[in-house]
Amino acid sequence: MTGVTMRPAWHHDAMGTITARYDRSAVAYERWWAPVLAPAVAGLLDAVDKALDGRTPKRVLDIGAGTGVLARSAATRWDGTGIVGLDGSRAMLEVAAGEAHRTLAPPAATRLSWVAGLAQDLPFADRSFELAVSSFVMQLVPHRLAALREAHRVLEPGGLLAYVTWLDGGEPYEPDVIFDSLIDEERLEDSLEAEEDRSGDLPSPAAAAAQARRAGFRPVAARAGQLEHRWTARSYLSFLERYDAADLFASLAPDARRRLRARISAELAELPTAAFTWRAPIVTVLARRPG
């Protein structure tokens, strides 16, 4: 059960732009962005372990599995657990399947399966899972309440939903400020994407908990946290060029690309080491379907 299964009914026009972006960037995502999110993924699974009180879940759904960081972590944490990773991007799931084969021992890898589908239209029967998890996806869905109701539907009575995503706010990140300023000075377009239809970051833990209750979950707990990652001037420039602003860099003529790279490098070199520690507010939600 390690191939990628396509379900023809899952397509949704509102997710088309987002899915296309992740299809293009799947390999770069695994290299550059997945490691940034990994500490929050580990923290989410720690919270799940505590909520399960030592029990091992039998069947788990990872909603918006991406390149499989959460699913792989769950497979190594819980022996015997069957895990289904679902994502709207087939390219992301192909990377996930490949990484599972590359990094996991065969017994763990064979407990993972991959299905293409959307959080708002889960291609699973009612009460199919004991646990549903998700990391940094609930801000992307066009209608978060609908996605939460779908998670409620596929959980068995007493089942647990656990997800982590972004909170509004946070301090400006100086390397980002420098990059944006240079884009303006060079009169470059900083986004080649159409506007995305998405729910956005949550305004507060209280709002996150209230929305889960509206979806039918009881009890619900939500807590704020912080995700931190330490870049260097060199690694951050590589991150911009190869992932975060890859489309922009690729659109430039060679001379313009070299000029922009040189200007960014010079500006970043002036910053102190501490300026490269990136921090962002997150929220972790644990919610049960009533038994």
Report residue 132 CA to chain centroid gap: 14
pLDDT, position 1? 38
What spatial distance separates the first Cα and last Cα of the chain, rounded to whole Å?
Answer: 30
In the predicted model, what is the mean pLDDT of residues 109-132? 97
Q: For 4-17, give one letter per residue: b (16+ CB within 10 A) or e.
A: beeeeebebeebee
Domains along the chain with CATH numbers? 4-168+198-230+280-288 (3.40.50.150)
Q: Which helix (H) or strand (E) holds 282?
A: strand 277-288
Band of residue 18 on the pLDDT scale cut at 50, 70, 90:
confident
Q: How many CB atoms lie within 10 A of CB 185?
A: 10
Q: What is the mean pLDDT of the chain?
A: 93
pLDDT, position 196? 67
pLDDT in tens, 170-219: 999 999 999 999 999 998 875 544 456 789 999 999 999 999 999 999 99
> What percent of the chain is predicted at pLDDT more than 70?
92
Q: What are the backbone angles phi and psi of residue 64, rounded to the nearest 5°? A: 75, 55
